[in-house]
Amino acid sequence: MKIQHARLETPERLHILFTDPPGRITTGDIILAPAIPILGVRKEGFEIVVMVEPVDLSRRYMVLVRGFGMTPLDIQPCLRGLSSDLPLGCIVEESWYVFRLFAPRAISVRLHLFEDVEDDIGTQFFLTSGENGIWQITMDRGIDEKYYAFSIEGSREPGEMFNSRILVGDPYGSAVVTKNTFRQNARCVLPDHIPAYDWEGDTYVTVPHEDLIIYEMHVKDMTAHPSSGVSPGLAGTYRGLVSLAAASGLAHIRALGVNAVELLPAQHYAWIEPPYMQHAGGNIYNDWNPYERNHWGYMTSYFFAPEPRYATCADLTPGHWNTAAPHHITEFRDMVKEMHRAGLAVIMDVVYNHTSQYDYQPLKYIDKLYYYRTAPDGSFIESSGCGNDLDSRMPMTRRLIVDSVLYWLEEFHIDGFRFDLAPIIDTETFMEIRERARAIHPGVILIAEPWGGGAYALDRFSEIGYGAWNDIFRNGVKGYDPMHGQGYIFGTWGASSPVDFGKWILGATRETGGPFLSHVHSVNYLESHDGYTLGDFIRIAGGTARPGQRIGDFSVHVRLTPEQLRIAKLAAVMLLTSRGTVMLHAGQEFARTKVIADSGITDARVGTIDHNSYEKDDETNWIDYTQCDVNRSLFEYYRGLITLRKTYPELRRAEVEQYTFLETATSVASGFVLTNAGAKRELVVLVNANTTDAAEYHLPPGGKWRILVDGDRAGTSVLGRVDGQHIVVPPVQCRVLQRENR
């Protein structure tokens, strides 16, 4: 028999679990190191309960039981019992500032006040320790200082990150000034220096999940490229995005016709990575990223603050302080308000599964053991693949996540959220988000990326009422590899079969053999920020480009061949006639290509297609609107299909029994009839992905059919008519037909 586990339930009580029921054990048989007096012992089955004088949570302990061995004392259960409902951060209470920080294992906490961000130390004040790990100090609001930060003293044992010489920002700070280095030293703006805002009656834009047509985009990329036509002072900014002085940004999005935008992460994040091929302290050695950037934003530093580098007044000079805060708050709100005026719901891609990796992210230095999942030696668990995993099971971590979501709803009028690597966050947290967010905005949009940390959970998120990215649709329709794993649109069933066509179209519900309780939970997509663009996937599959091959004539590369254009249109029809939420990625509507640009960085891959451009803040990622001019017919096709989808609600809302699927003698040629009895209307969607053979379809008897979509054009205008029951669709083409007043 030996010790299996020792856990601290409260500061005065620990439990020791044995492999078998222990015999008689006395207080003299038990030793805690460092030494803590043992006050009493009682046996409970396989465990003994040990009463002790209060344990110092800032220390690590070993538990020894004579004759049974020793084990580390797990203090997580005790920490999990600590929680508080007190407002956190810097709170304004009449003529006072109240600073509160949750730091349950800290030995001391200091507040630093600054008039100038260049000040390294500021004026210091010690906070007082209270109940449940809360530290607090009250200050007169009449102080001259504008900024504040904290420093925390704690255990120096191996694996800890307490360091009183490192100043960190407030995890609840809503306006944060950071230094343009990979450490991102921080100062938070005091509330009285954050301007009030007039929303001018703005409110949420409510779009039901099944009606959503989402445009996933990066704030800077939409207007940073010279082709955007946005003035240099606005290019790549919140204001530039919604400027109507050019045909790019918001004007382009409106012209396309989508009804929601999804912003790649725009919470304050660590956008600078360590110097390339240099030792940067500790064991940090950047040998993977010559660009020294994290452009997409999946490295959150502050969960309540907008990213300041998209402000018009941002100072991005290396080594300088970016003093855009708090102006970026106003500009972010202006952006949301303009999006709402255009009828667009605004969704934020949020990263709560992990935090930024190399900067002075405050949670790491406040209490790494509490906020993160850690191994017994104190090292980070990183199932996210991003250096660390937050532990949302801990009450105050969960509270921070929920508070952040509610803050963006209330203070920035955000309409919805897409949760990155969602399975790493526990279900209870998601359920609390759902209930509390819906209490504020009943139509809030909630979408999960349903994989991460080794889990795959489309069904789990559907069961709690969340939408989820549907890779069943993506991989079936497009494929998973342009060289060796092509999908339906390339004229092959691949790993799928004819019955899967119906699953894709109907939203992969459980009644069709899929994971979703309802089609409203299925987010159908063919391209996202990850992986190849759909256009590049088609180019590679079609043989005009190869991974790792340097592109010769870029203008030739951009233009889709006639065959590639037909495949791109096939994909568009399948996406925009399927049940569920639809998502496009920026540039998908014109077959955007991402070719690694020569930006002065030594990179042997320059000139080749990029499938993971997370680190490139250059023309690799920026939206080049000349590509839209080259493939204008595809843009118009997408625009027409979006109009079609909006015009015919049965494409979004029909029940399974309204569908009749059609078979043909031609392989990889499918279709369906969609009946809207109330409107006395029928739609027929015909998809012939066969690369060589035409497909003959038999239509329901009686009446004439109007052609709304053919191989060249799409929309609600009549392009031609079909009499009778037979129609032939050429290879790699679609038809959408409509019959009224049957």
Which tens digits make up the pLDDT trace of 611-658? 999 999 999 999 999 999 999 999 999 999 999 999 999 999 999 999
The closest of 455, 534, 468, 479 to 507, measured between CA atoms, is 468
pLDDT given for residue 361 in this prediction:
97
Query: Is 135 domain-assigned?
Result: yes
pLDDT given for residue 213 in this prediction:
98
pLDDT given for residue 186 in this prediction:
97
Using the predicted structure, report yes or no on whether residue 338 has a pLDDT greater than 60. yes
Do 617 and 500 lie in a common domain? yes
Q: Whole-number mean pLDDT of the chain?
A: 96
- pLDDT, one tens digit per residue, over 1-12 is 789 999 999 999
- pLDDT, one tens digit per residue, over 226-258 is 999 999 999 999 999 999 989 999 999 999 999
- CATH of residue 312's domain is 3.20.20.80
- pLDDT, one tens digit per residue, over 70-96 is 999 999 999 999 999 999 999 999 999
Query: Is 199 domain-assigned?
Result: no
Query: Is 177 domain-assigned?
Result: yes
Helix (H, G, I), strand (E, B) or coil at 60: coil
- pLDDT, one tens digit per residue, over 385-397 is 999 999 999 999 9
Do 571 and 429 lie in a common domain? yes
- CATH of residue 165's domain is 2.60.40.10
Q: How confident is the model at residue 742 (pLDDT cuts 50, 70, 90)?
A: low
pLDDT given for residue 741 in this prediction:
64
Query: Is 730 domain-assigned?
Result: yes
Mean pLDDT (whole number) for 714-735: 96
Do 186 and 319 lie in a common domain? no
Do 184 and 69 lie in a common domain? no
Do 299 and 164 lie in a common domain? no
The closest of 98, 96, 100 to 129, measured between CA atoms, is 100
- CATH of residue 23's domain is 2.60.40.1130
- pLDDT, one tens digit per residue, over 160-178 is 999 999 999 999 999 999 9
pLDDT given for residue 702 in this prediction:
82
429-432 long-range contacts, CB within 8 A, separation 24+ = 429/392, 429/393, 429/398, 429/401, 429/402, 430/461, 430/464, 430/466, 431/464, 432/398, 432/402
Query: Is 49 domain-assigned?
Result: yes
- pLDDT, one tens digit per residue, over 466-501 is 999 999 999 999 999 999 999 999 999 998 999 999
Contacts of 500 (CB under 8 A, 6+ apart): 476, 493
Do 662 and 734 lie in a common domain? yes
Of 27, 59, 80, the residue at which a domain comes to its end is 80
Query: Is 172 domain-assigned?
Result: yes
Query: Is 68 domain-assigned?
Result: yes
pLDDT given for residue 679 in this prediction:
81
Mean pLDDT (whole number) for 180-190: 97
Using the predicted structure, report yes or no on whether residue 740 has a pLDDT greater than 80. no
- CATH of residue 682's domain is 2.60.40.1180
Number of domains the chain is built from: 4
Of 645, 668, 688, the residue at which a domain comes to its end is 645
Distance CA 523, CA 422 (A): 15
Query: Is 537 domain-assigned?
Result: no
Of 137, 160, 193, the residue at which a domain comes to its end is 193
Residue 319 CB-density burial (10 A; 0-12 exposed, 13-18 middle, 19+ buried): exposed
Give 3-state DSSP helix, strand, coil % of the chain, rounded to 5: 25, 30, 45
Cis peptide before 191 (omega within 30 of 0): no
Two structure tokens written together for 225: 């490229």
Do 32 and 15 lie in a common domain? yes
Instruction: Yes or no: say if 685 and 674 are a contact pair by the CB < 8 Å rule.
Output: yes
Mean pLDDT (whole number) for 667-685: 93
Do 132 and 232 lie in a common domain? no
Using the predicted structure, report yes or no on whether residue 306 has a pLDDT greater than 60. yes
Q: How confident is the model at residue 678 (pLDDT cuts 50, 70, 90)?
A: confident
Do 615 and 681 lie in a common domain? no
Mean pLDDT (whole number) for 448-457: 97
Distance CA 149, CA 187 (A): 5
Do 73 and 107 lie in a common domain? no
Do 20 and 58 lie in a common domain? yes
What pTM, to 2 d.p., does this model score? 0.96
Using the predicted structure, report yes or no on whether residue 335 has a pLDDT greater than 60. yes
Question: In the chain, what percentage of residues exceed pLDDT 90?
Answer: 95
pLDDT given for residue 23 in this prediction:
86
Do 635 and 674 lie in a common domain? no
Phi, psi dihedrals of residue 675, rounded to the nearest 5° = -100, 130
pLDDT given for residue 282 in this prediction:
83
Residues of the domain holding 136: 89-193
